[in-house]
Structure 1
Amino acid sequence: MELFTSTFVLLVTVAIANIVAQWVPQISKTYLALLAGVIVGLVPALDQLVLSFENEIFMILILAPLLFFEGQVTPILKVSRGFSSILGTAFVLAIGSAVVATVGIHWTLATSFPLALVMVAISTPTDATAFESVVTGRKFSARLGNQLKMESLFNDATGLVLLQAGLLWWQTRQLSLGQNVGRLLFSAVGGAIVGMVLAFGLMLFRQALVRSEANVISSQTLIYLLTPVIIYLVAEKLAVSGIIAVVVAGLVHNSEANGSRFTASRQMYFGTELMNFVVEILNGGVFVILGISLERIVREQHQQMVVSLNWFWLGLAIYGFLLVSRFIYAYFFVAGKQVKDSWLFAFGGVHGTVTLAMTFSITGLIPTTQFQQVILVETVVIIASMLVPTLVFKWLLPRDGDVLSKPVLLAQIREQMTAVGIARVEKLQLNSEIKVTVIYDLQDQNKTNPLPLFLRRWRGITNHHEAVSILQSRDQRWAMMQAFASERAFLAEQARQHVVDVSLLHDIYTEVLMAEALVVDPYSRLV
Structure 2
Amino acid sequence: MALFTSTFVLLVTVALANLVAQWLPIPKTYLALLAGIVVALIPGLNHLVLNFENEIFMVLILAPLLFFEGQTTPMVKVGKGIPSILGTAFALAIGSAVVATVGLHGIFAVSLPLALVMVAISTPTDATAFESVITGRKISDRLSNQLKMESLFNDATGLILLQAGLLWLKTSEFSFSQNIGKLLISAVGGTLVGAVLAVAIMLFRQALVRTEENVISSQTLIYLLTPIVIYLIAEQLGVSGIIAVVVAGLIHNGEANGSRFTAPRQMYLGTQLMNFISEILNGAVFVILGISLERIVQEQYQQMFQSLQWLWWGVTVYLALLLCRTIYAYFFIAQHRWRTSWLFALGGVHGTVTLAMTFSVLGMLPTSQFQQVILMETVVIILSMLVPTVLFKRLLPQDGDALSKTKILAQIRREMTAVGIQRVQELDLPESVKHVVIYDLQDQNKRNPLQAYLRRWRGIISHHEAISFLQSRDQRWAMMQAFASERAFLADQARRHVVDVTLLHDIYTEVLMSEALVVDPYSRMV
Same fold by TM-score greater than 0.5: yes
Between the aligned partners of 2:162 and 2:291, the Cα distance in structure 1 is: 24
Rounded to whole Å, the distance in 2 between the matches of 1:11 and 1:328 is 41
SS in 1 for 2:445: coil
- 3-state SS of paired residue (1:434): helix
The C-alpha deviation readout for 1:89-143, integer Å capped at 9, x for no partner, is 0000000000000001111112111110000000000000000000000011110
Instruction: Quote the residue 1:10 is aligned against.
Output: 10
Residue matched to 2:347: 348
TM-fit CA distance, 1:148: 0.1
Q: Which residue does the alignment assign to 1:21?
A: 21
Give the secondary structure class of the aligned counterpart of 1:445: helix
Deviations 1:7-36 (A, max 9, x none): 000000000011111112x31111011011
Aligned match of 1:307: 306
Aligned pairs for 1:188-207 (under 5 A) are: 188-207=187-206
**TM-superposition CA deviations, 1:72-93 (whole Å, max 9, x none):** 0100000000101000000000
1:407 aligns with 2:442: no
- Report the AA paired with residue 409 of structure 1: I
Q: 1:469 Cα deviation (Å)?
A: 1.3
State the percentage of identical aligned residues: 76
Structure 1 residue 213, shift from structure 2 partner: 1.6
Counterpart in 2 of 1:249?
A: 248
1:102 matched to which residue of 2? 101
Task: Give the structure 1 partner of residue 497 of structure 2.
Answer: 498
In the TM superposition, what is the alpha-carbon distance from 1:452 to its structure 2 partner?
0.5
> Residue 339 of structure 1 aligns with which residue?
338
Task: Give the superposition deviation at 1:217.
Answer: 0.2
| Residue 429 (structure 1) shift | 1.1
1:375 equivalent to 2:365? Answer: no
For 1:165 and 1:205, the matched residues in 2 are separated by: 39
What's the CA shift string for 1:326-361, capped at 9, x where partnerless? Answer: 000000000001000000000000000000000000
Give TM-score, length-normalised by structure 1.
0.99
1:125-136 aligned within 5 A: 125-136=124-135
| Number of the residue aligned with 2:162 | 163
- Which residue is 1:316 aligned to? 315
C-alpha deviation, 1:432, in angstroms = 1.5
Q: Secondary structure at the match of 2:350?
A: coil
What TM-score results when the alignment is normalised by the length of structure 2?
Answer: 1.00
Aligned equivalent of 1:397:
396
How far apart are the structure 1 equivalents of 2:109 and 2:521? 71
Q: Distance in 1 between matches of 2:462 and 2:309?
A: 71
* Structure 1 position 257, deviation (Å): 0.6
Report SS of the residue matched to 1:399: coil
Q: CA RMSD in A?
A: 0.5
Partner of 1:480: 479
**1:484-510 deviation per Cα after TM superposition (whole angstroms, max 9, x unaligned):** 000000000111111110000000000
2 CA distance for matches of 1:501 and 1:375?
47
Task: Spell out, residue by residue over 1:408-430, the C-alpha distance to the aligned partner (whole angstroms, 9 max, x if none).
Answer: 11101101100110011011111
Separation of aligned partners in 2, 1:399 and 1:302:
39
Name the structure 2 match of 1:176. 175
- For the residue of structure 2 that corresponds to 1:40, the secondary structure is helix
Question: SS at 1:37's partner residue?
Answer: helix
CA distance in structure 2 between the partners assigned to 1:470 and 1:382 by the alignment:
59
Q: Aligned partners of 1:91, 1:419: CA distance in 2, in Å?
A: 56
**How far has the Cα of 1:458 moved from its partner?**
0.3
3-state DSSP class of the match of 2:143? helix
> C-alpha separation between the residues in 2 aligned to 1:6 and 1:43?
14
The residue aligned with 2:327 is: 328
Between the aligned partners of 2:108 and 2:141, the Cα distance in structure 1 is 38
Q: CA deviation at 1:403?
A: 1.2
Aligned twin of 1:119: 118
- How far the C-alpha of 1:259 sits from its partner, in A, is 0.6
1:233 Cα deviation after fit: 0.4
Q: Deviations over 1:458-495 (max 9, x none)?
A: 00001111111110000000000000000000000111
Residues in 2 aligned to 1:66 and 1:371: alpha-carbon distance in whole angstroms: 28
Q: Where does 1:78-89 land on structure 2 (aligned, <5 Å)?
A: 78-89=77-88
Corresponding residue pairs, total: 526
How far, CA to CA, are the matches of 1:354 and 1:416 in structure 2? 46
Q: Hey, what does 1:42 align to over in structure 2? A: 41
Shift of 1:263: 0.5
The residue that corresponds to 1:293 in the other structure is 292
Q: Partner amino acid for 1:164?
A: Q
Q: Where does structure 1 differ by over 4 angstroms across 4 or more consecutive aligned residues?
A: none
Other-structure match for 2:217:
218
Query: What is the DSSP-based 3-state SS (H/G/I as helix, E as strand, rest coil) of the residue aligned with 1:23?
Result: coil
Instruction: Extract unaligned runs of 5+ from structure 2.
Output: none
Q: Distance in 1 between matches of 2:462 and 2:146?
A: 59
